[in-house]
Structure 1
Amino acid sequence: MALPLLAAIEISSDEKGLSSADLSRLGHAYLEITDNNANDAVHYIFNNFAAYHTVANVTAVSDNAVIAEILNAGAARAVVTLEQYAALKGAFADARLAVQVANAAEAKELPKAVGLFVDAAVVAEVKEKERCILASFKSVSIDSALEVAKLGATPIIPRDQLTVDPEANPGLIPVAAIVTAKITSDREDGLLTTIVVDEQGVALGLVYSSPESVKESFRTGTGVYQSRKRGLWYKGATSGAVQELVRIDADCDGDCLRFFVRQKGAGFCHLDTATCFGPHRGISKLSATLLDRKANAPAGSYTARLFSDSKLLRAKIMEEAEELCDATTPRDIAFEAADLIYFALTKCVSAGVSLADIEASLDAKSYKVKRRQGDAKGKWAEKEGIAVAKPVEEPKPTTDAPAPAVATPAAPNDEGRIVMKRFDASTATEKELDDILRRPAQKTNDIMGIVGPIVSDVRARGDQALLDFAAKFDKATTLKSPVLKAPYAPELMALDEETIAAIDISFENIRKFHAAQKEDKPTVVETMPGVKCSRFVRPIERVGCYIPGGTAVLPSTALMLGVPALVAGCKKIVFASPPRPDGTCTPEIVYVAHKVGAECIVLAGGAQAVAALAYGTESVPKVDKILGPGNQFVTAGKMLVSNDTSAGVSIDMPAGPSEVLVIADSDANPAFVASDLLSQAEHGVDSQVILVAVDLTEEQLKRIEDEVHDQAVKLPRVEIVKGAIAHSVTLQAKTIEEAVRLSNVYAPEHLILQVRDAAKVVDMVEHAGSIFVGAWTPESVGDYSAGVNHSLPTYGYARQYSGVNLGTYVKHVTSSELTEEGLRNVGAAVMRLAHVEQLEAHRRAVEIRLEHADRK
């Protein structure tokens, strides 16, 4: 069967029209490539392989070697001319090519595995059920696209002419209509048989779909099906076992849909099992178990040790690999392979790598058309007595064109080193720099469909929904109330004296700095005689402070959010933080809540906590503003409720993963630089750290890189650090001015200046959340105890937003006070402008007063 639909995209403007998330759920895209954009296209296809397969039209590419690079990067098919096919056939599998033909006669000369690329007008003429037929349009409409789809061909439609929400975009072509156009049903009710599978293709269960439910699935990004009794079935809306839609396709006969989903909650089945056919087995079961162990393994358990001790895990992987190599019988080979898979998957889960990521990498390798020689390397070859051939020297480029900025590992011969990729910023183009500085992708739009039902459930069921979510997501099955109210029992904040002293010092420093930001008196201006205008401060009455749980306990965030609220004079301070499995809150957070006068702590995390704060429940008081960082579910929840006028709630700022940019010159201490980079890398695998090295030699760069590795391997969160370093970079700059320019482009959450005369460089900084000046100012002092706030704009939002400060907790009210003289002075201007705007009542409000004054 043909692909359901190809969305035509442009590399230079890939965000136009259909979103990247929606494009991913469609699973396929179409790209026109020329000699001018071929290099960009190779990178684009390679970087987006896991999201969707690309059909690449290379009919305008003159070099067959470039076509090979495009296929090697992961293009599913290349559209070629008949002349190109004659030159390429035999070099690539026929299934990787589609030939541009003008009529049925040209098509008949081609092998059946070769696809066809035709004008939509001749689809009926070249109709062949066993072929992949791609149809292009001179001018596409919903009717012409449906006609082509019903003939079994794949319509190619520009991305900006497609929509997943036809009600909101009536002039665009609905994706769901095209996808379902070629699906047939033999049922009297017309429902479409649908198999639901996880990302590995394991069947979760059988359901039914309709064109309407498919439309809703694409629109919401979740699993939505057609119940034979109850109409549209939003999977997980009541149970919490929601599904994030990955993509939709169909079987070869076009009579069965397949939904790929990421299943959340207990499982797909109503019996709380992973599938309707029982629990997961094999590798899927192991993956689920390891994910659970990562979150809940008891301290000291073997699996917990593996997650925290990278050297132990590395040793076990190598031990099991050797035992597998030495095994000889089928039974022993299976036994040792299972052990190796267990430890290898433990490493993957520890770094946030899923089975889907592994399978995407396997698929990407299968798409390569350039084959490696496959020789054993280095010490492994030497151990087995294999001679290692010297590498063949790459031919030098024949053109004088400048080479693109290519990432180069600092120590290519050191296997297993934790090292950031390097780029020379002075030779990179603006586009290359933009790609280099691009942050790890966030999927807020993707998860709105998951967050929406959670928010709705809390709004509808209140406390009970919070308790259910605490049991499901936080394993707090014994929790009786979702709220811990003040006054807090002493045993709930039992801490050692050293921790209490640290919190008290931090509390006082934060209080002093934020108290200094107070506006002591109103601003009063007489704009003209008798016209007095004022502006004064009022605290926001009710604030909700979200303190994340997850991979770390964060009493510092409780301080950063709670102390300014106290200083501002907010009448109601509410904390929210995920409960521990035993249903309690971490004592550090309870102690901070006690110190700032928080009236209660909501024992909830994620979008459910945000919903409770926004709308209130039986036990949770509603607030006027929600502040605090969190994961993507928290961010999506904050964005959702702030856009709901019925919630009447605002938020502090958009939030993303933590990040730091360090500018270092030859005066910088390599150990200091490395420690600052790692202090942010340990936050999470989606964190990003950037080093801008100012005119450093290779030796100086190597010293920093050695420190990064040596310090990282000693950290308990080393696997998280590895995940962050994987998408972090070192930029080499010639001057401090160039370095600061790069920082201003990036607009980091934290900017650290480890350069000579650092204080003088501050004046050059335009965009940063918070700046840490000089060698003796690590970012961690800002996180905890210096006094500045650590709740800062991330993801480039430092261009538009300030970090949390006293102003975050107050609003400004203005007032006007006029005398009769004042109204006479300004009245004529007011009446004239009201007349211009045709607002007669406005004009009369002044005129009546002036007439009254004249009669006195």
Structure 2
Amino acid sequence: MFVVESNQVPEPDSRMTIGGPVLVTGSCVGGYRANGLGHGVWATVTVADGDSTDEVTDKAVALLDAGFDKVCLQLNSSRSLAAAASIAQAYPQRIALRLWNGDSTSLSKLASVSPFAGQLHAVILAVDSLSAPGVAALVAECPKSTRLVLDIGGSAVDYSDIATVSKTGASLLLRDSVLGYTADSPTATIEPGRAFAACLNTDRPDGLFATVIVDEQRTALGVAYSSVESIAESFRTATGVYQSRSRGGLWVKGLTSGATQRVFRIDADCDKDALQFVVNQQDPGFCHLNTRTCFGPDSGITALEATLRSRRANAPAGSYTARLFNDTNLLHAKIIEEASELCEATDKDEIAWEAADLIYFALVKAVANGVSLADIEGHLEKRAKKVTRRAGDAKPGALEKIAAAAASKTGQDKVVSATTTAAPAAQPAVIEKQEIKLRIHSHSSLSEDEKSALLQRPILDLKEISSRVTPIVQAVRERGDDALVELTAKFDNVKLTSTVLKAPFPQHLIDEVKPAVKAAIDVAFANIAAFHKAQVSDSTLSVETMPGVVCSRFSRPIDRVGLYVPGGTAILPSTTLMLGVPAMVAGCKEIVVASPPRKDGTPVPEVVYVADKIGAGTIVLAGGAQAVAAMAYGTKSVPKVDKIVGPGNQYVTAAKMALQNDTQAMIAIDMPAGPSELLVIADNDSNPAYVVSDLLSQAEHGVDSQVILVAIAPTSEFLAAIQHELATQGEALPRRDIVRVSISKSYILTVESRDAALEFSNKYAPEHLILHIEQPESTIPQIQNAGSIFVGPWSPESCGDYASGTNHTLPTYGYARMYSGVNTDTFLKHITSQTLTMEGLDLLGDTVTTLAEIEGLEAHRNAVAIRLKDIRAKKI
């Protein structure tokens, strides 16, 4: 392509008027932005009389730091030569040489600058003629890694000259005075678009060029065709103009649909027979189907930016993204939180997950302030062009904070700075912490949209989660035990040769359980068993619906069940009890327990103890989607089950929900689930310490947990006491860092009456509902939606979690509107039967034949009619 010589830097936001690099001859360091139009800007280094070699070098470096792609030095002095050699060695391919006058016949002078071999981007050489043989000879002399640019001075050139030079592999230097449009400049004789097209080649009979259209992030939007005329028009208007093959003539993209394109850049491929248009595409997109691309839905970070822009303009009421746009403090807290979690992540998958979270919230911040991905990439490109670098050290105190956080996690008493010097005792490092405090909303002052927003749980990106679960499930289905071993090593950081224990389980593991813990488990076991046995009916329901027609219903246990017991941040033998006892009571023939191993590869002893008590035949030492998939499909060592029951994180839930729809797996599940949640209704007579202890008992489950206090006509003193207890009790907890995050997603809602509190609770449908009010039993008839209710100040949720007898595996995320918690019926199926006598069929038969006839099912009608004929023949 050609090179344009100009005495000014092109404006980044002006229309596109160039088709190649711009060589700027003036000194204009401060006026350039890296994300401007065109194909790069080169800057000429001005060498003044008296400049030393170092001063010339400093000027060149300053231009590169300013964002110029290349710097050009004219070799008219030894200082320029030395400076050019220094820059070429330090910054290869960032320098062009302009040979002085008199070197117009050959490149022999390059011999005197041999230190530049392989380091030069370009040589600009003055010539007298553009004859094809002469240009070809010069190209042959020029080093292959160096671009040859020919300068014919003030001589007139035309499009054939541009084509001749381009075909040899060289480039022609054009003055901007002759490059332009006659309507804009009386001296313009060469149109940029036609000059660009003159450099292209095509072997198509129609003379067109295949054209790929991409956005600023180089995501392919579609394919079109370009002609010399359409290229010229695109350059002239800086809009997407292509050649229509079906209708003939030019096709201006978006002229009728409004989906216009602004063209930022046009490139030719290496063979100069295909083009790439870099455009800013307006909604709804490039495709005639009103999608952004012709290659299916967009994905990745560009799709996220488009979604956020759409949400910014018209966010659904109550959506989490709308909250982020409207609540700057929440957004900033999330950015800080996710940055911290990314710093703490160690596993490859965890790092990717946390980085994705941080990118999401950072992009929300950008979109909220009108900053695009193109803006961000422009700054990255400008930084990449800088040749002088800052040290990159952290701000004062930052490294000490990180060290202090690490020390607090490992129990160290001293904080060590980045220089390994102990921090002075008088100036301990301080870690900034978010206060454990609940936001307060007044129900009476909220709009309907704001009230609806309060019913929303922390958003789970199920599409993204499912995309990560699917390959895990597929790996287990295809490779069985081998995949399970590999995935356990990857996600649980434990290398095992087998992930399965068969009953009888090793006695030494059971013996690890302390006697006091065994006693506690035994009491809980007895209570849970008593409550769940009472749910079983051994009798058969039998109803005579009409004389001679008896309908019955009876239960049978599900043969094979899988119990998922989470590991992660807490050891949960209580979940093994809550799942295993009702399965045992129901009479399931085969019970499989899946739970992640400890770091040494062994199972949690308390889980083994309970598994032994409930009669489990297999323990699978694995967690996550891989454990769920192993139980669903079965492997050589893991028995296939008919139903999978148990709580888990979003990956476990996504795997359960996907597998219940997989006909190859053929399983049922207990319920969909989300993070743990709790709603407390309290009045001014309640004990703030008790109320807060209940809130914190669920807030410590995980960072996605949500707890809500619905306060009935609270006094300011009551609310202050709640906040005080939160700070005091919360800061004293070992899991306070988890609490700090979950509390930030929680709130207090003040309401005017008990009825208003119960109405909100029914809409929210909490997993756990605690009634800290006077005469709480009287409100139970009004409660329609809740997983489990804890009545009065002496019924903490913790008792239900462990040992009162009710089950703690409950519907979350609002599913309490339509699901029950785990119970004995979870592990039973019900079968119906019917017995008809001859007289009964005679009474019912005409009803059946009439209905079957209406539905057009003749075989159904005949199965009854043939019998009725015999019955009624006997009556004659």
User: Shorter-normalised TM-score: what interval?
Assistant: 0.5 to 0.7
Q: Taking structure 1 as reference, are residues 347 and 707 closer, same or farther at Cα in structure 2, changes over 3 Å only?
A: farther
| 1:331, distance to aligned residue in structure 2 (A) | 8.7
Is 1:480 aligned to 2:540, yes or no?
no
Alignment partners' CA distance in 2, 1:791 and 1:647: 23
Equivalence for 1:765:
783
Corresponding residue for residue 704 of structure 1: 722
Q: Could you say what secondary structure the match of 1:730 adopts?
A: strand
Amino acid paired to 1:290: E
Q: How far apart in 2 are the matches of 1:736 and 1:431? A: 22
Q: How far did residue 855 of structure 1 move?
A: 5.4
Aligned to 2:528: 510
- Cross-structure match for 1:536: 554
The superposition leaves residues 66-120 of structure 1 with CA deviations (integer Å, 9 ceiling, x where unpaired) of xxxxxxxxxxxxxxxxxxxxxxxxxxxxxxxxxxxxxxx9xxxxxxxxx9xxxxx
Tell me whether 1:444 sits opposite 2:462 in the alignment: yes
The equivalent of 2:582 in structure 1 is 564
Q: 1:662 to 1:817 in 2, by over 3 A?
A: same
CA contact (8 A) 2:566 2:572 kept: yes
Gaps of 5+ in 1: 3-104, 106-114, 116-121, 144-148, 163-170, 178-210, 219-244, 251-283, 297-329, 351-382, 384-413
Q: State the distance in 1 between where 2:231 and 2:284 align.
A: 15
Within a 5 Å distance, the mapping from 1:137-536 to structure 2 comes to: 152-157=279-284, 173=290, 175-177=292-294, 215=296, 218=299, 245-247=300-302, 290-292=344-346, 339-340=399-400, 342-343=402-403, 416-477=434-495, 479-494=496-511, 495-536=513-554
Paired AA for residue 284 in structure 2: I
Question: Structure 1 residues 678, 130: CA separation in 2 closer, same or farther (over 3 Å shift)?
Answer: farther
* Match 1:620 to one of 638, 657, 669: 638
Partner of 1:266: none
**Counterpart-to-counterpart distance in 1, 2:260 and 2:835:** 60
In structure 1, which of residues 648, 673, 678 is the aligned counterpart of residue 666 of structure 2?
648
Write the mapping of 1:679-698 to structure 2, written as runs, cut at 5 A: 679-698=697-716
TM-score, length-scaled by structure 1: 0.58
The question of whether the paired residues in 2 share the 8 Å contact of 1:137 and 1:156 is answered with no
User: What code does the residue aligned with 1:291 have?
Assistant: A
Do 1:659 and 1:689's aligned partners in 2 also have CA atoms closer than 8 Å?
yes
Match of 2:552, SS? strand
Residues 24-103 of structure 1: matches in 2 within 5 Å? none
Gaps of 5+ in 2: 1-11, 14-182, 184-215, 217-229, 242-251, 262-275, 306-337, 351-389, 411-426
1:751 is matched with: 769
Does the alignment pair 1:733 with 2:860? no
Report the Cα offset of residue 539 of structure 1. 1.0
Match of 1:678 among 691, 696, 702: 696
Is the CA contact (8 Å cut-off) linking 1:142 and 1:173 kept in structure 2? Answer: no
2-side partners of 1:651 and 1:124: how far apart? 63
User: C-alpha distance in 2, partners of 1:419/1:796?
Assistant: 24
In the aligned structure 1, how far is the partner of 2:794 from the partner of 2:623? Answer: 36
Q: Distance in 1 between matches of 2:583 and 2:703?
A: 31
| CA distance 1:247–1:539, change in 2 (3 Å) | farther
2:628 corresponds to which residue? Answer: 610
- The answer (yes or no) to whether the contact 1:769–1:792 under 8 Å persists in 2 is yes
Structure 1 residues 512-558: Cα deviation after superposition (integer angstroms, max 9, x where no partner): 11111112311111111111111111111111000000000000110
Q: CA–CA distance in 2 between the matches of 1:570 and 1:142?
A: 64
- C-alpha displacement of 1:438: 1.6
**Are residues 135 and 635 of structure 1, via their aligned partners in 2, closer, same or farther at CA, if it must alter by over 3 Å?**
farther
Cα pair distance change 1:332/1:829, threshold 3 Å = closer
Root mean square deviation, CA, Å: 4.0
Bigger mean CA offset, 433-442 vs 589-598: 433-442
**What is the CA–CA distance in structure 2 between the aligned matches of 1:640 and 1:766, rounded to whole Å?**
29
Write the distance in 2 (CA, Å) between the matches of 1:536 and 1:791. Answer: 25
What secondary structure does 1:152 align onto? strand
Q: What secondary structure is seen at the aligned counterpart in 2 of 1:619?
A: coil
| Partner-residue secondary structure (3-state), 1:509 | helix
For 1:597-637, what per-residue CA distance to the aligned partner results, in whole angstroms no more than 9, with x for missing partners? 01111111111011011110001111111010101110110
Look up the equivalent residue of 2:718 and give its one-letter code: Q
SS in 1 for 2:445: coil
Distance between the aligned counterparts of 1:550 and 1:472, measured in 2? 14
CA contact (8 A) 2:688 2:725 kept: yes
Provide the C-alpha distance between the structure 1 equivalents of 2:821 and 2:595, rounded to a whole number of angstroms: 21
1:132–1:153: 8 Å Cα contact kept in structure 2? no
Separation (CA, whole Å) in 2 of partners of 1:156 and 1:822: 68
Distance 1:697 1:623, change over 3 A: same
8 Å contact kept, 2:509–2:608: yes
1-structure distance, mates of 2:298, 2:590 = 40
Structure with bigger RCO (C-alpha 8 Å, 6+ apart): 1
Contact 1:123 1:153 in 2 (8 A): no
DSSP-derived class of the 2:755 partner? helix
Could you state the TM-score of these two structures normalised by the residue count of structure 2?
Answer: 0.56
Query: Which digits, 9 at most, give the CA deviation of each residue in 1:713-763, with x for residues without a partner?
Result: 010000000000011000011111111111111110000000111111212
How many residue pairs get aligned? The number is 536
Residues in 1 aligned to 2:475 and 2:435: alpha-carbon distance in whole angstroms = 46
Between the aligned partners of 1:836 and 1:571, the Cα distance in structure 2 is 45
CA distance in 2, matches of 1:124, 1:421: 60
Determine which of 768, 784, 787 is the counterpart of 2:805. 787
Q: Deviations over 1:338-388 (max 9, x none)?
A: 6246348869999xxxxxxxxxxxxxxxxxxxxxxxxxxxxxxxx9xxxxx
Partners of 1:499 and 1:693 in 2: how far apart?
37
Q: Check conservation: 1:290, 1:346, Cα contact below 8 A.
A: no
CA distance in 2, matches of 1:709, 1:135: 60
Instruction: Give the Cα separation in 1 of the matches to 2:627 and 2:666.
Output: 16
Q: For 1:13-61, what per-residue CA distance to the aligned partner results, in whole angstroms no more than 9, with x for missing partners?
A: xxxxxxxxxxxxxxxxxxxxxxxxxxxxxxxxxxxxxxxxxxxxxxxxx
TM-superposed CA distance for 1:851, in Å, is: 2.8
Q: 1:637 aligns with which of 644, 650, 655?
A: 655
Greater mean deviation of Cα atoms: 339-348 or 544-553: 339-348
Letter in 1 for 2:819: Y
Deviation string 1:533-587 (CA, Å, 9 cap, x unpaired) is 1111111111100000000000011000000000011111110011122211100
Following TM superposition, by how much is the alpha carbon of 1:839 offset from its aligned partner in structure 2, in angstroms? 0.7
Which of 571, 594, 608 is the aligned partner of 1:590?
A: 608
How far residue 137 of structure 1 moved from its aligned partner, in angstroms, is 8.8
Alpha-carbon offset, residue 437 of structure 1: 2.9
Partner of 1:742: 760
Q: 1:513–1:787: 8 Å Cα contact kept in structure 2?
A: yes
Residue 196 of structure 1 is matched in structure 2 by none
Structure number with larger C-alpha Rg? 2
Q: Name the CA distance, whole Å, in 2 between partners of 1:295 and 1:141.
A: 39
1:665 and 2:683 equivalent?
yes
Report the AA paired with residue 822 of structure 1: G
State the distance in 1 between where 2:480 and 2:260 align.
44
- Pairwise CA distance, 1:290: 3.1
Mapped partners of 1:501, 1:451: distance in 2: 39
